[in-house]
A and B are shown apart, each in its own frame.
Chain A
Amino acid sequence: MNRPADNTLRIALSDAGISRRDFLGFCATLAAAYALPASSVIVIAAALENASRTSVIWLSFQECTGCTESLTRSHTPTIEGLILEQVSLDYHHTLQAASGEAAERAREESMRANAGKYLLVVDGSVPLGNPGYSTIAGVSNFDMLMETAKGAAAVIAVGTCAAYGGLPAAQPNPTGAVPVSQLIKDKPVINVPGCPPIPVVITGVLAHFLTFGTLPELDGRGRPTIFYGESIHDRCYRRPSYDQGKFAESFDDEGARKGWCLFKLGCKGPVTHNACATTKWNNGVSFPIQSGHGCLGCAEPDFWDMGSFYKALSMPATPVRKAVAGAAAAGVGAGVAVAFANRAKKAAAKAAHETVKVEDLTKKP
């Protein structure tokens, strides 16, 4: 691309008052995340600055718009937000100006014009129960997903709902919510879980596609390995206090003030894979544990059903007391039954006893 188009990111950035230094810093973050050499920072920057507009269709199903919020974060223009704006977001019913039939037409036109090349971003889960549970312009989520996915180059399932079913799929899953990956089998589905996902993770995936024209390396769950390869616990700055056995016992005790490990207060960091502890939130300001609250495990499947957020990971997820009482009662019942049977057997043996006489001792079998 010799001559940058008028509407490239470079112009948008300068319009928004974001310096080139900040932009290169962002590119360096991405390069580091993808484990690329320092020289690639320029390549990424150039690719992003000059990228031609890739068409993106964003479908929102059973969701809360938190994922979009996370990405656009009202008021403050960010590099992440601008990148998103930089792509040709042809359809996003929260962000687009058009409404009603015009909006749907925009989607259909984009699908036609960019067949096989556009990116499909989905947030929210798809209800398989009653198609009427969630519709857009009278079209069920399932139908719209299948129709739109047909011509997509790849599908990005943003947020835990799209990636794993999320809250709508929580027990007892009344709408029959399923993740995108359960429905789309014929093309790559990238899962970007989190409730919501970290903005840089969403844009990081987009940036990879824009820069290299390919998708980043994915793990067995379809997640970009670079962001989801390690657990929060592994990267947590409070990890040393876990190893030393220093734990906060309540949210306002000495340990909590000293910043000790929140394991006992229910932190799910050990089994949660996400980049919170490294990239952090709000431009690297903080993340939940740093703010004094344990990880909820929101980037993991069924996090809502993993028991109380405030129960330690090693604690029973469901109450056992009733079962214990029942088992004890059953044990007593069975024990008494066996005891009676045993005593009857022994009594019978005693009754069957024939006095042993000396003659009996020589009776050879």
Chain B
Amino acid sequence: MSASLQRGVNAFKEVIDAPVAAFFASCVHCGLCAESCLFYTETGDPQYTPIHKLEPLRRVWQQEYTLLGRLAKLVGLAKPVTDAELAAWSPLVYDSCSMCGRCSMVCPVGNDITLMIRKMREGMAAAGHAPEGLVTATQRSIQSGSPAGVKWVTVQAQIKRMQKQFGIDIPVNLENADYLVLMSSWEILNYPEYLGSVGRILDNAGATWTLSEHAYEATNSGIQIGVSDLARELVGRIVKAAEDLKVKCVISPECGHAYTALRWEGPNLMGRRFGFEVKHILEVLDDLRRSGRLKLKGSIDKPLTYHDPCQISRRGGVHQQPRALLRQIAPQFREMSDPGVMNWCCGGGGGVSANERAEPLRTIAFKRKKAQIEKLGVNTVVTSCANCRVVIEEALEHYHMNIELLGLTELVAEHLAED
């Protein structure tokens, strides 16, 4: 066994816990997870059956943590996990799974398959079987602070632009602020209006907020590639900055997995609770709306729909807030099929969008979203995840679809009733 394989298998052994054992023990091979997975429904290829993507991890569970499996291994009846097998499984674990969590909602025996994919990636990455694109993004994140290699100077340039465009002051490294605002690389590069919008809304609500020179990037490639050691380092930067600045709340930007990384995995990665709250921007907006500090005016006079980012809605629990906000400004808001926690992924979550190898598959997988949008017949789609936005924009281009795509925070800011 090569050293890297040994590390991978060791990681498999580390991540298997009672839930994983209960999940594997319960699988009846009914195949319903395939029917819930857009990588299967859009390709018809059975190898994309979610539970099948976990086969090597399942065998490690069976061989290491069940009595019969241990006995079988003892007498040489167990089929060991090999490098070749993990190499073959790499596209299944990384390219054909956006960790959207739909299968986890559908599995009749209650298996959280997505959770297991997350765990399996720990072993895959440790064994050196993560795809190149994700490896590069992770390297950049660790080395330069951003998966896209965005440096502080770029942020500074955007700060200046936004201050001018929105007529606001953007505080940096302000201590004791109510909120620390984070961004994803995509927001810094493609959608800087997010920063201006958040600033305007918070200023208007009378909240104090700040950016941090040391933690402006919210994304976490460590989560996507499945290396908790690296994910911890990335989360740790934010935690340190937030605690150094003594902010009350850190706002996770319009980015799905950043929210998962910071809100749900963060404390577990760090091994402690944080001295501050973590909220998604939509939660903050809805809180402000409910407390009367966010007043909106006017409305968008066209039919539009909302695309639920998986990590925010299904895996994050933020699915009522966007609807409450949209209802205020979009009288013609209409739900897509399978809205909310049963949404269909854009196809690019869970690191798929950073993985060039997965691009053709991701484009095919988008047919699901395409069909949904076409069936609904609206020309405007609102979402709240910069990664979804990029993936959908690329796919709309590919399929020559004339659809307008908006960020919800920007939309809210545009309808701000300023005092």
Q: A342-B65, A353-B10 known; A361 and B138 CB under 8 Å? A: yes
Task: Say whether B4 contacts A354, CB under 8 Å.
Answer: no
Q: CA of A251 to CA of B130 in the docked complex: distance in angstroms? A: 74
For residue B64, CB closer than 8 A to chain A, the reply is yes
Instruction: State in angstroms the CA–CA spacing of A308 and B64 once bound together.
Output: 47
Asked if B5 CB lies within 8 Å of chain A CBs, one says yes
In the bound complex, how far is the Cα of B138 from the Cα of A353, in angstroms?
Answer: 20
Say if the beta carbon of B370 comes within 8 Å of chain A: no
Given contacts A354-B7, A360-B126, contact A346 B135 (CB under 8 A): no
B:194-249 near A, CB below 8 Å: 225, 227, 229-230
Docked complex Cα distance between A178 and B139 (Å): 85
Bound-state Cα–Cα, A218 to B269, Å: 80
Q: Is the CB of A361 within 8 A of B64?
A: no
The one of B14, B143, B227 in contact with A361, judged by C-beta atoms closer than 8 angstroms, is B227
Which residues of chain B have C-beta atoms less than 8 A from A353's C-beta?
10-11, 14
The residues of A that contact B83 with a CB separation of less than 8 Å are: 365
Considering only CB atoms, which chain A residue lies closest to B135 in the complex? A361
CB under 8 Å from chain B, chain A span 37-52? none
Give chain A residues whose Cβ lies under 8 Å from the Cβ of B150. Answer: none
Knowing A345-B65, A353-B14, A356-B126 touch, does A362 contact B135 (C-beta < 8 A)?
yes
Give the docked Cα–Cα distance between A315 and B65 (Å): 37
Instruction: Select one of A355, A356, A365 contacting B2, CB under 8 A.
Output: A365
The reply to whether B128 and A365 form a contact with Cβ atoms under 8 Å apart is yes
Q: Which residues of B contact A357 (CB under 8 A)?
A: 229-230
B16 close to A (CB within 8 Å): yes
Q: Does A334 sit at the interface, judged by CB under 8 A? A: yes
Q: Are A358 and B143 in contact (CB under 8 A)?
A: yes
Nearest CB of A to B124, in Å: 10
Contact B128–A362 (Cβ < 8 Å): yes
Output the least CB separation between B145 and chain A (Å).
13
B interface residue count range (under 10 / 10 to 19 / 20 to 34 / 35 or more): 20 to 34
Q: Which A residue's beta carbon lies closest to that of B126?
A: A356
Interface residue? B174 (CB, 8 A)? no
Cβ-neighbour of A352 out of B5, B10, B139, B230 (below 8 A): B10
Cβ A360 vs Cβ B128 within 8 A: yes
For A341, A345, A353, A365, the residue with the greatest tally of chain B CB atoms inside 10 Å of its CB is: A365
B139→A361 contact, CB < 8 A? yes
Contacting residues, chain B, for A356 (C-beta < 8 A)? 7, 125-126, 227, 229-230
**Is the CB–CB distance between A346 and B16 below 8 Å?**
yes
Contact between chains at B125 and A361 (CB < 8 Å): yes
B142 at the interface (CB under 8 A from A): yes
Please, which residues of chain A bring their CB within 8 A of the CB of B142?
358
Q: What is the CB-to-nearest-CB distance from A315 to chain B, in angstroms, rounded to a whole number?
A: 31
How far, in whole Å, are A357 and B142 apart by their CA atoms in the complex?
Answer: 9
B128 interface neighbour in A338, A349, A364, Cβ under 8 Å: A364
Q: At the interface, yes or no: B151 with Cβ under 8 Å from chain A?
A: no
Task: Indicate if the CB atoms of B229 and A361 lie closer than 8 Å.
Answer: no
A350–B230 alpha-carbon span in the complex (Å): 16
Q: Are B126 and A346 in contact (CB under 8 A)?
A: no
Residue B386 at the chain A interface, CB threshold 8 Å: no
Residue of B nearest to A362 (CB): B135
Q: Which residue of chain B lies nearest to A354 when distances are taken between CB atoms in the complex?
A: B7
Does B14 contact A350, Cβ atoms closer than 8 Å?
Answer: yes
Shortest beta-carbon distance, A8 to chain B, in Å?
76
Residues on B with beta carbons closer than 8 Å to the beta carbon of A360: 4, 7, 126, 128
B52 touches A (CB below 8 Å): no
Contact between chains at A358 and B13 (CB < 8 Å): no
Residue of B nearest to A348 (CB): B13
Q: How far is the CA of A341 from the CA of B11 in the complex (A)?
A: 18
Which residue of A is nearest B66, CB measured?
A338
Query: How far in angstroms is the closest Cβ of chain A from B72?
Result: 14
Choice from B4, B10, B14, B229 contacting A365 with Cβ under 8 Å: B4
Q: Which residues of A contact B261 (CB under 8 A)?
A: none
A321 at the A/B interface (Cβ < 8 Å)?
Answer: no
B28 at interface by CB-CB < 8 Å: no
Q: How far is the CA of A341 from the CA of B142 in the complex (A)?
A: 37
- Given the complex, which residues of A lie within 8 Å of B10, measured CB to CB? 349, 352-353
- Contact status of A358 and B139, CB under 8 A, knowing A342-B65, A345-B64: yes
- Residues of B with C-beta under 8 A to A334: 67
Q: B97 an interface residue at 8 Å Cβ cutoff?
A: no
Q: Does any Cβ of B come within 8 Å of A363's Cβ?
A: yes
Instruction: Report the bound CA distance from A218 to B13 in whole Å.
Output: 66
Contact pattern, B 50-76, Cβ under 8 Å of A = 1, otherwise 0 = 000000000000001101001000000
The listed residue with most B CB atoms (<10 A of its CB), out of A334, A338, A342, is A342
Contacts A356-B125, A361-B139, A364-B128; A346 near B7 (Cβ below 8 A)? no
Chain A residues, CB < 8 A from B11: 349, 353
What are some 13 contacts across the A-B interface (CB < 8 A)?
Answer: A342-B64, A342-B65, A346-B16, A346-B65, A353-B10, A357-B230, A360-B128, A361-B125, A361-B139, A362-B128, A363-B4, A363-B128, A365-B2
List 20 other contacts, CB 8 Å, given A349-B13, A356-B229, A358-B135.
Answer: A338-B67, A345-B13, A345-B65, A349-B11, A349-B14, A352-B10, A353-B10, A356-B125, A358-B142, A360-B128, A361-B128, A361-B135, A361-B138, A361-B139, A361-B225, A362-B128, A362-B135, A363-B128, A364-B128, A365-B128
The 6 A-B residue pairs with the shortest CB-CB distance, nearest first, are A349-B13, A365-B2, A365-B83, A361-B135, A356-B229, A349-B14
Which residues of A pack against B, CB within 8 Å? 334, 338, 341-342, 345-346, 349-350, 352-358, 360-365
Chain B residues packing against A (C-beta within 8 Å): 2, 4-5, 7, 10-11, 13-14, 16, 64-65, 67, 70, 83, 125-128, 130, 135, 138-139, 142-143, 225, 227, 229-230
